Amino acid sequence: MKRILVTGAAGQIGSEIVPVLRKRYGSDNIVAAGHKTVPDRELLEGGSFCQIDVRDYNAVENIIEKHHIHTIYHLAALLSAASEKDPQLAWDVNINGLRNILEAARKFNLSVFFPSSIGAFGPSTPAENTPQDTIQRPTTIYGITKLTGELLCDYYYKRFGIDTRGLRFPGVISYKTMPHGGTTDYAVEIFYAAVKDKKYECFLKQGTRLDMLYMPDATRAAIELMEADPAKLIHRNGFNITAMSITPEDIYNEIKKHIPDFTMTYTIDPMRQAIADSWPHRMDDSAARREWGWRPEYNLAAMTKEMIERLLEKV
Ligand code: SER
């Protein structure tokens, strides 16, 4: 039996997609691999978990050979604000790590899922109804690595016939594992703060509109794309997907319906605000809808209700 490898398995998306993949394909067929982030109990006890630095090509190859891997969900990466703090490390992990995965995919003929981002766009991209194919001149190192990743994945498909596929994730909201070093982290922190302290200090200013997605939609999107009929895919990498285009006050107002005494203040982080200001407000995800049937299930109201219920059980 051939198996799926998930890198970045202890991260925000990894820690949620691994249990979904285990359930869908059987625990024995999923190999979760993390680096420094400590995995939670569910991840450790639900199936195999190993340690890997994706910058180490031999380590990548060893895992692939040992576990008879046929598909890699390559989620190991630095997010936008963390990348801006250490651009050299961002390049090393996000690009050299991906290059190792793609080279191994070429050698062993594997399929690869690559998560791109709204960060792959820049200030000269149309911010409203951002088309699937448009100007991409990102001004952050994170965006540069994500755009390079999209292009590299397309190149490996066209040049070597490697089955690469990928999405441009917007901010992903979830209650299980906190994101670290992202510009959209506020949209996760706000829920924890609302439930725990009934107050939140937001680092992006009022009116900062960005696309967002609730985690169950994000994990389902990745798996649906990997299972899609390749004959229907006109694009392969960097599919725009979104479920909601929202501002901090939109989330605040929705949370207040459940927690009426919740309050929010703003203390702007200039670095993350500048990153957010360079990103689109609302992506057009019609290519994903057309080519492989993408449909989000959660809007702001449904997500907020579930986030609060789950966090109340947790904190
Ligand atoms: N959530 C990501 C970030 O903020 C966007 O891809 O970096």
Query: For the segment 50-78, what is each residue's pLDDT rounded down to a tens digit?
Result: 999 999 999 999 999 999 999 999 999 99
Calculate how far, in angstroms, residue 285's C-alpha sits from the geometric centre of ligand 1.
17
Q: What is the pLDDT of residue 206?
A: 98
Q: Is residue 38 very low, low, confident or very high in pLDDT (cuts 50, 70, 90)?
A: confident
Tell me the average pLDDT across 106-132: 98
Name which of 33-37, 149-153, 226-230 the model is least confident about.
33-37
Whether residue 145 has its Cβ less than 6 Å from ligand 1: no
Calculate how far, in angstroms, residue 283's C-alpha sits from the geometric centre of ligand 1.
14
Q: Is residue 256 very low, low, confident or very high in pLDDT (cuts 50, 70, 90)?
A: very high
Whether residue 130 has its Cβ less than 6 Å from ligand 1: no
Whether residue 183 has its Cβ less than 6 Å from ligand 1: yes
Whether residue 121 has its Cβ less than 6 Å from ligand 1: no
Counting from 1 in the atom list of ligand 1, the atom nearest the Cα of 80 is 7
Q: What is the pLDDT of residue 148?
A: 98
Going from the N-terminus, what domains does the chain have, and what CATH number goes with each?
Answer: 4-170+214-240 (3.40.50.720), 172-211+242-282+297-314 (3.90.25)
Q: What is the pLDDT of residue 234?
A: 97
Q: What is the pLDDT of residue 253?
A: 98
Counting from 1 in the atom list of ligand 1, the atom nearest the Cα of 183 is 4
Q: Is residue 1 very low, low, confident or very high in pLDDT (cuts 50, 70, 90)?
A: low
User: To 10 degrees, what angle do helices 141-160 and 97-108 make?
Assistant: 10
DSSP state of 86: -
pLDDT above 90 for 223: yes
Calculate how far, in angstroms, residue 170's C-alpha sits from the geometric centre of ligand 1.
7
What are the angstrom distances between the C-alpha of 289 and each of 38, 95, 259, 286, 301?
36, 28, 35, 5, 22
Q: What is the pLDDT of residue 40?
A: 87
Whether residue 248 has its Cβ less than 6 Å from ligand 1: no
Q: What is the pLDDT of residue 315?
A: 78
Q: What is the pLDDT of residue 37?
A: 81
pLDDT above 90 for 36: no
Q: Is residue 246 very low, low, confident or very high in pLDDT (cuts 50, 70, 90)?
A: very high
**What are the pLDDT digits (tens) for 266-306?**
999 999 999 999 999 999 999 999 999 999 999 999 999 99
Q: What is the pLDDT of residue 189?
A: 98
Calculate how far, in angstroms, residue 116's C-alpha sits from the geometric centre of ligand 1.
9
Q: Where are the alpha helices (DSSP H) in the chain?
A: 14-25, 41-45, 57-67, 80-85, 87-91, 97-108, 141-160, 186-196, 215-227, 248-256, 270-277, 286-292, 300-314
pLDDT above 70 for 23: yes
Whether residue 182 has its Cβ less than 6 Å from ligand 1: yes
Residue type, 170: P
**Catalytic residue numbers, as ranges:** 142
